[in-house]
């Protein structure tokens, strides 16, 4: 039997999660336009933050910019780059309690060498088990 979205073995029935919204700036334009680097970096930081990466897709735009989306067992993550201003939007939402979305953002900022990081954390759902 497959698990429902936003449920992991440790938290079946827990309708709760954390949503981290971040803006990173002071990043090299070359890195923000490197689709393969960004795909690899996002997948790696999510794994290090105990998320389960199912699939990573991406799109490189002309003349510049990249969007990378990661489908997670715990939900999703995305990055949208703006090389022309050295900035990137990051969105990581994980259900349950095992994955650490704030850590994923912190690790990504380090991988990108971001000079500035601004984050907002949104706690979603309820804190008790649903029958």
Span between the terminal Cα atoms of the chain, in Å: 18
Q: Residue by residue, what is the 3-state secondary structure of 25-91? A: ECCCHHHHCCHHHHHHHHHHHHHHCCCCEEEEEEEECCCCCEEEEEEECCEEEEEEEEHHHCEEEEE
Residue 95 is among the residues annotated as catalytic for this protein: yes
Q: Which of 6, 19, 73, 75 is catalytic?
A: 75
Up-side HSE of residue 83: CA atoms within 13 Å toward CB?
17
Q: Which of 25, 40, 58, 80 is catalytic?
A: 80
Q: Which of 6, 19, 87, 95 is catalytic?
A: 95
Residue 116 is among the residues annotated as catalytic for this protein: no
Tokens 């990504």 found at: 108
Residues involved in catalysis: 75, 80, 95
């Amino acid at each position: 039997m497959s698990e429902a979205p936003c449920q992991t073995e440790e938290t079946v029935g827990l309708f709760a999660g954390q949503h981290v919204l971040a803006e990173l700036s002071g990043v090299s334009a070359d890195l923000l336009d490197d689709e393969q680097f960004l795909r690899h970096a996002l997948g790696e930081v999510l794994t290090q933050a105990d998320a389960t990466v199912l699939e990573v897709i991406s799109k490189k735009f002309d003349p510049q910019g990249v969007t990378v989306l990661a489908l997670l067992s715990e939900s999703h993550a995305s990055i949208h780059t703006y090389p022309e201003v050295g900035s990137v939007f990051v969105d990581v939402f994980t259900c349950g309690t095992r994955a650490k979305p704030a850590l994923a953002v912190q690790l990504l900022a380090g991988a990108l060498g971001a000079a500035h990081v601004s984050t907002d954390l949104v706690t979603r759902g309820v804190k008790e088990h649903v029958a």
